Amino acid sequence: SQTIHQWPATLVQPVGSPLSLECTVEGTSNPNLYWYRQAAGRGLQLLFYSIGIDQISSEVPQNLSASRPQDRQFILSSKKLLLSDSGFYLCAWSTSGTVDQPQHFGDGTRLSIL
Amino acid sequence: QKEVEQNSGPLSVPEGAIASLNCTYSDRVSQSFFWYRQYSGKSPELIMSIYSNGDKEDGRFTAQLNKASQYVSLLIRDSQPSDSATYLCAVNRVTGGGNKLTFGTGTQLKVEL
């Protein structure tokens, strides 16, 4: 069966510090991968999605970036965090090749910026 | 108009009652519809998928889809306190390529003893 791992679970970072969040998927090949942010009391905002290695699309302009160095690894990064980057970051995967498949989420990373 | 709209709630129902959660969407050509449950502080969990008009039942959950009215709903029978959570409606995006979903902001359900 497929599993998705996301770490760390919680992170407290000062303003201006760098960020690296990692997500890996097991049990499937060539998944579509996604990064979302959920601010407190808000909906899910799609940040990045990827259909393959080094194929990343950004949904909204921001100071975050994403990379996919391996088929089942997705990394969210920032060089300098802003206060507005606080939130609940979720990685998700879906089966590639069809537009009908649901997305499955990791446990998330709760990021607090001080 | 939001792409996917849900009443934020909270929707309060007594234990054992039927909870009815509603969602409307704006993209008439959407074909795939999903319901996720999100407990406080946790990530969303897929509970139902529906692709065709009509009803789809899975245990205590029934999803209903009406594409002509651009409306999808989730019924929870015999509601339990453990069903208390926020329920997110998600609709596939046809434009822009890839398998992307648009999520509503969710309806908070409270099942009271």
The per-residue pLDDT for range B44-91, each reduced to its tens digit, is 999 999 999 999 999 999 999 999 999 999 999 999 999 999 999 999
Q: What's the gap in Å between the CA of B33 and the closest CA on chain A?
A: 8
State the pLDDT confidence band at B1, using cuts at 50, 70 and 90. Answer: low
Residue of A100, A61, A90, A26 lying closest to B42 (CA atoms): A90
- Stretches where chain A sits below pLDDT 70 are 99
User: Which residues from B are below 8 Å from A94, CB to CB?
Assistant: 99
Burial of B60 (0-12, 13-18, 19+ CB in 10 A): middle
Q: Do B42 and A107 touch (CB under 8 A)?
A: yes
For residue A41, give both structure tokens. Answer: 């009391």
| Residue B54: CB atoms within 10 Å | 9
For residue B58, count other CB atoms closer than 10 A to its CB. 11
Q: What is the pLDDT of residue B94?
A: 67
B70 Ramachandran zone, left/alpha/beta (phi>0; psi -120 to 50): left
What one-character-per-residue DSSP string does A18-83 give? -EEEEEEEES-SS-EEEEEEE-TT--EEEEEEEEETTEEEESS-SSEEEEEEETTEEEEEESS--G
**Residue numbers in A near B34 (CB within 8 A):** 102
SS3 call for B80 = coil
Residues from chain B that touch A98, judged by Cβ atoms under 8 A, are 99
Give residue B29's pLDDT band: very low, low, confident or very high (50, 70, 90).
confident
